[in-house]
Structure 1
Amino acid sequence: MLTFVTSALGLGIIAAMAEPAPPVTARARARAELSRDIKRLALRQLADEGAGALSLRAVARELGMVSSALYRYFASRDELLTALIVDAYGDLAETISTATAEVEPGRFRSRWGAACHALRGWARREPHRFALIYGSAIPGYRAPADTIAPATAVMTALAGIVDGAARAGALADVDGEAVGGELAAQLDGVAHVLGEHSPAPVLATLAGAFGQLIGMVNLELAGHFVGGFEPADALFDRTVRQMAAGLGLQDLDEPGRAAPEPPA
């Protein structure tokens, strides 16, 4: 009976996928285009004045619209900010995934490096968008639940590298402090969300590495390396390699690599 039901559901899904999508109306296209224009101008405001100064009225003026018309697209400043935040997380996660996909399978240390450099490159190209998601809190704005999954996508793109190494037996044993108590419970929850199979100490190190990564990029964008580490390429590259070593990431073709059995 279960097989029959599963097969029937599968056939139903296939049939639904085979059905042509309903045509996009001219009105829907116009709405999507105007929504893109609103977000484009809002991003320009962010770049010029910061997220705290974002104004729907100012965006409406630039579009030659009355502000009441713009509110039909975004009901409030916070709704527009949320849309920009979701877009930024999605764009960054896709950038990281694209960069890692270009690295040969099994080269987990190299994938980590590609991911970190992709994140930094995106942040340098889009500093106002990076600040929107990883900068200071925006006065008066409280991120809704809609932003949780997009935010997780960035961490998942990085965690997937570590998880892949653990599954392939390319995660070296590193001396690490045992994890217990409150942190162990927190890591269990994080592992569930990320679909991680790495040991708890490795996952804790990953969380710390992520914080270090975001912190270094923020310091660079804020100009704190000027006069000392400018450009910061060599420092960043060294730090990325240290993160990979701390996580125990290895390339499967690495000379002299001990190949432990992959986890069951």
Structure 2
Amino acid sequence: MAGTRSTGRRERLRAETTAEIKSTALELMGAGGPDAITLRAIAREMGMTANAIYGYFATRDDLVTALVAEVYTALADAVDASWARTEHDAPQQRIRAWAHAFRAWALANPEGFRLVYGDPVPGYRAPEGGAAPDAARRVCVGIAALADAAWSGAEAAHGGGGFGWDDFDPGLLDKVRPAFPALPPDGVALALRIWGHLHGLVALEVYGHLRTQTPSPDKLFRAELAELVRSLGLGAA
């Protein structure tokens, strides 16, 4: 019994230290950019020896991979949950819910956003298949779901854009087509256009570029989202 308690305590302490290493890495990145993520810098910040931290992550790339997987999965969980809470036959509400969940996650986790969508960590090599393949697939499918929900209205409003399957990366199609086999190439293009609308303003806000331009970034985002919904032929808010 005592041995079980001791093992449980060691596992708990290891999990707590691992979590602190990850949070420290993100803090260093927030202060000094991607270059600041080094095991030695993290060890110094935490008051650990360099040798001790290697017992948790053998290389800097192992740590970055763990970080990307964790933050990307958290994003996928957030947008998936927002989607699940909306009605299937209410595309306008579904798009709005997904968009607001994406922005809320990004603003609450700016370092995580920058790690996934910002400047790459210098010299980092992701494992084959990517650092977070399941989370990347879920977010990609979520964006395609926005287009699928809006497709009939968008097609009626604007028609097609003349896209073919060869206009897209096979890796993207491998994620999207099994989930939405009826979505045509123009629908996949619509997904990327929706993503551009949502990602653009959020990125400007996360990186602080809107800070001196407007005291109301939320109002700006809502206005952009309303215009996007109208442009998709889904009516006014």
TM range (shorter): 0.7 to 0.9
Tell me the equivalent position of 1:53. Answer: 36
Contact kept in structure 2, 1:56 and 1:67, CA below 8 Å = yes
Count of paired positions: 226
Deviates most, 92-101 or 25-34? 25-34
Q: 1:218 aligns with which of 203, 212, 215?
A: 203
Aligned to 2:94: 111
1:90 corresponds to 2:73: yes
Q: 1:192 aligned to 2:174?
A: yes
**TM-score normalised by the chain length of structure 2:** 0.81
> Aligned residue for 2:82?
99
Identify which of 162, 177, 195 aligns with 2:161: 177
Question: Based on CA coordinates, which of the two structures has the bigger radius of gyration?
Answer: 1
Quote how far apart the aligned CAs of 1:244 are: 3.3
Residue from 242, 246, 250 that aligns with 2:227: 242
Secondary structure in 1 aligned to 2:69?
helix
1:142 aligns with 2:120: no
* SS of alignment partner, residue 128 of structure 1: helix
Name the aligned partner's letter for residue 179 of structure 1. Answer: F
Of 202, 209, 228, the residue aligned with 2:187 is 202
- Higher mean C-alpha displacement, 39-48 vs 60-69: 60-69
User: What is the RMSD computed on CA atoms of the aligned residues?
Assistant: 2.9
Structure 2 CA distance, aligned partners of 1:109 and 1:188? 29
Equivalent of residue 141 in structure 2, options 156, 163, 178? 156
1:223 counterpart SS class: coil
Amino acid in structure 2 at the alignment position of 1:180: G
Structure 2, unaligned runs of 5 or more: 1-6
Higher RCO (CA < 8 A, seq sep 6+)? 1
Q: Quickly say closer, same or farther: Cα 1:214–1:208, change in 2 above 3 A.
A: same
| Match runs of 1:26-37 below 5 Å | 26=8, 27-37=10-20
Give the match's secondary structure for 1:146. Answer: coil
- Correspondence for 1:71: 54
Matching residue within 21, 45, 57 for 1:38: 21
What is the percent sequence identity of the aligned residues?
35
**CA offset at residue 47 of structure 1?**
2.2
Instruction: Classify 1:229/1:199 alpha carbon distance in 2 versus 1 (closer, same or farther; 3 Å).
Output: farther
Partner letter of residue 182 of structure 1?
D
Distance 1:54 1:246, change over 3 A: same
> Which sections of structure 1, spanning at least 5 residues, go unmatched?
1-24, 255-264
